[in-house]
């Protein structure tokens, strides 16, 4: 009986070991990736919008063709530095996001969720940015076809009961006057992605309101307030904002003031925590990473999609 159990385990291990990206497919994906790099960079660096849109169209088609390769989920695509690539620790899916600037006032977010499949076949959910068509993106719950677009730079899995909630933190180059950072929660219902929900407990005041489906930090363009997850504190840390002109109704006047609030995961919700630090934080010692874009607006991601 023990020998039979050992044999069964060995056969199972062999089946799992063989269910992976082959060397020939890996090499083919390397060639495809090499061809895609120039287009990925041109999406953000080409001088005029027509060239950027053309590069985006070609890149998207090439990317999807590459993902059709069996077990492409295991390929890192780590040379595509302008494309954010994130996966949770359970490796159940990957999420790719990038942005296309049509004009200073029209920056579209594109992306896709690739699911891990047992047979290596492609299961892909395109992300369609509908933000500009939404009356209240902060309150919207939608699927991949009704997505509040963002260039994601962090994924934080959290549990409530037996269910896993994937918190996504991202940047939105919204328009000529404002940028935004977004904390969204991704779940899967019957295998389909759902963005947003009743996962935030935030008090009413000039900057925030109750009952939101996602947290959106809106601020003056290029003022770069900090927003990220700190694993040591187990908190999402939010730099506090104030209106530089004393006009809180004008979001384009909001700038960071050096104080920090937070969000703490409790009983299936991100609960607001006011005033995290009582001492002034020295410049350059903030408890969150640098912005995800450099001064030219280019992405800076490592092989795991983390920003530098």
Q: pLDDT for 27-53, tens place per residue?
A: 999 999 999 999 999 999 999 999 999
3-state secondary structure (DSSP) of residue 131: helix
Cα angle, residue 64 at apex, residues 58 and 69 outer, rounded to 5°: 135
CA nearest to 171, candidates 162, 161, 182: 182
Range from 51-60, 233-242, 286-295 carrying the lowest mean pLDDT: 286-295
- The reported pLDDT for the residue numbered 209 is 57
3-state secondary structure (DSSP) of residue 132: helix
- The reported pLDDT for the residue numbered 104 is 87
Query: pLDDT for 149-203, tens place per residue?
Result: 999 999 999 999 999 999 999 999 999 999 999 999 999 999 999 999 999 998 7
- The reported pLDDT for the residue numbered 211 is 72
Query: pLDDT for 242-296, tens place per residue?
Result: 999 999 999 999 999 999 999 999 999 999 999 897 544 555 555 444 445 554 4
What HEC string does 34-98 produce?
Answer: HHHHHHHHHHHHCCCHHHHHHHHHHHHHHHHHHHCCCCHHHCCCCCCCCCEEECCCCCCEEEEEE
Distance (Å, whole) CA 227 – CA 74: 30
DSSP state of 206: S
3-state secondary structure (DSSP) of residue 10: helix
pTM for this predicted structure: 0.84
* CB of 269 closer than 8 Å to CB of 201: yes
């Amino acid at each position: 009986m023990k020998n039979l159990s050992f044999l069964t385990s060995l056969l199972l291990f062999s089946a799992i070991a063989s269910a992976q990206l082959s060397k020939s497919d890996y090499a083919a994906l390397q060639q495809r990736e090499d061809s895609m790099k120039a287009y990925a960079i041109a999406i953000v660096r080409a001088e005029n919008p027509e060239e950027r849109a053309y590069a985006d169209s070609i890149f998207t088609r090439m990317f999807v063709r590459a993902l059709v390769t069996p077990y492409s989920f295991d390929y890192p695509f780590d040379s595509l530095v302008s494309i954010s690539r994130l996966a949770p620790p359970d490796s159940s899916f990957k999420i790719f996001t990038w942005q296309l600037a049509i004009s200073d006032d029209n920056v579209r977010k594109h992306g896709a969720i690739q699911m891990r499949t047992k047979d290596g076949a492609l299961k892909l959910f395109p992300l369609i940015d509908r933000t500009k068509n939404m009356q209240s993106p902060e309150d919207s719950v939608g699927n991949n076809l009704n997505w509040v677009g963002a260039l994601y730079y962090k994924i934080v899995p959290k549990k409530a009961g037996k269910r896993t909630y994937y918190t996504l933190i991202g940047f939105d180059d919204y328009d000529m006057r404002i940028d935004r950072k977004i904390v969204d929660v991704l779940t899967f219902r019957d295998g389909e992605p759902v963005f947003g929900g009743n996962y935030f407990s935030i008090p009413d005041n000039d900057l925030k309101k109750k009952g939101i489906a996602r947290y959106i930090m809106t601020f003056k363009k290029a003022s770069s307030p900090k927003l990220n997850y700190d694993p040591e504190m187990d908190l999402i840390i939010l730099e506090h904002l104030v209106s530089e002109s004393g006009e809180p109704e004008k979001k384009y006047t909001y700038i960071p003031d050096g104080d920090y609030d937070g969000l703490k995961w409790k009983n299936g919700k991100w609960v607001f925590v006011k005033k995290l630090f009582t001492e002034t934080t020295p410049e350059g010692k903030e408890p969150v990473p640098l912005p995800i874009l450099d001064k030219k607006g280019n992405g800076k991601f490592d092989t795991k999609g983390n920003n530098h």
